[in-house]
Chain A
């Protein structure tokens, strides 16, 4: 498991409604398709219904994370701005 302090430090303030991810994948500094590969490799590390946060700063991730979720019928929850890059929240749906 990723140590929570690092994730907490990197993630922008979470809106009150957004629950805490069960797993955070740090793909900052990685070019696409690496963030997608990391997500695909690790989505089964959480329970169905749980959330994964993917931190990435490659601009292609903004299109590719939601597109991957649509292709794989996973639930894309939201994208938040970080100081550098974005945090993408995905719910494992099956």
Chain B
């Protein structure tokens, strides 16, 4: 039995739990108030900001805490676009890779509908890596308001060429939004971003904390009335105990990275090799080498993805799937579709820091008979 959906949410890190309990006692007050309780909350919030900024490689005043990764992405995209639109560039242009998180694509789509911004979505190869040449060619100096690229893909784990994209963007004076949600806490943040977004529950912090960092010199204007909180960027004041827990988890993940990253990579490598060996007509997706250590995604031909997730859940394994029947929209994963790979029978295994070799072997024991059974069921239902 094991939880294998860390890419949706990493279980709360023990250090985060400890920080959360302490901060609930000490950091509950409004950090903007001048009384002792307020000052104490303020001190804790400032400490959390300093430590997170240090780990991201930015200044504390560049970093704001948001209420989610999605909110961070929305404020990042809209803030840059609106600041630059107002500099009489008109509705302008936005570039994004086709495999960005839906929060990025939704924000781009929203801008296109509301303000007439033109959106260019650039392609990826079969491993899910953004086509750097196409991405670069889409940048229009003077017209492109922002370009968006993730550090790593959240569904298949492939790392993106962020440093190179950042250099191309800098040459053309186009700000680059880097969505680091899939990799923050697991890999160093690549240099060169103008705006950065991330989400704490993906690295073992609590839900309800996102990061928005805006580099000095990047034009950004608040898309919502934000008052004086979080450097005038985010409405409302942050959940100080949750922010402290998020900072504690990020610090711990960063410290443990070499040990846990290596161990998780060995486990996902074992899955990448064993799954197609044990189960016929199965494809493993994403880059075999240049990838996140904790994610492996595969598709089994002739299998209904929903049945697979349900059967694995019954067998005690929690996984996610990009198959259409498992999604809210009944559409197949836009990531797998952009890669041009099989979308049905899809399983994403993403290992939490506590995953063990034993749990992987147990998974490899239960998976083949489940796939065989689902294949038989689907076939029988079709022929009856």
Contact = CB atoms under 8 A, between A and B. Distances in A.
A30 B382 CA distance: 9
Interface residues of A, number: 20
A59 B302 contact: no
Interface of A: 30-34, 36-38, 40, 58-60, 62-64, 66-68, 70-71
Interface string B266-291: 00000000000000010100000000
Contacts of B324: 31-32, 58-60
B379 interface: yes
Contacts of A58: 324
A34 B324 CA distance: 13
Contacts of A33: 301-304, 344-345, 378
Q: Is the interface of A mostly helix, strand, loop or mixed?
A: helix
A68 B301 contact: yes
Interface of B: 281, 283, 301-304, 323-325, 331-332, 336-337, 340-345, 378-379, 382
A34 B307 CA distance: 14
Given A59-B331, A68-B301, 8 more contacts: A31-B324, A37-B379, A58-B324, A60-B331, A63-B341, A63-B342, A64-B342, A67-B342
Nearest to B299: A67
14 contacts: A31-B324, A31-B325, A32-B324, A33-B304, A37-B379, A40-B301, A58-B324, A60-B324, A60-B331, A60-B343, A63-B342, A63-B343, A68-B342, A71-B301
A90 to B, nearest CB: 15
B336 A37 contact: no
Contacts of A36: 301-302, 344
Contacts of A37: 302, 378-379, 382
B340 A59 contact: no
Contact of A64 (B281, B304, B331, B343): B343
A36 B382 CA distance: 11
A33 B379 CA distance: 10
A71 B343 CA distance: 13
A30 B324 CA distance: 13
Contacts of A40: 301-302
Contacts of B336: 63
Given A33-B302, A36-B344, A64-B343, A59 B283 contact: no
A38 B378 CA distance: 11
Contacts of A30: 382
Nearest to A66: B340
A32 B283 contact: no
Listed from nearest, the 4 A-B pairs whose CB atoms lie closest are: A60-B332, A33-B344, A32-B344, A63-B337
B340 A67 contact: yes
Contacts of B301: 33, 36, 40, 68, 71
B378 A62 contact: no
Contact of B332 (A34, A59, A71): A59
Contacts of B382: 30, 34, 37-38
B343 A34 contact: no
A71 B342 contact: yes
A61 to B, nearest CB: 9
A59 B378 CA distance: 19
A31 B344 CA distance: 10
Nearest to B337: A63
B182 to A, nearest CB: 22
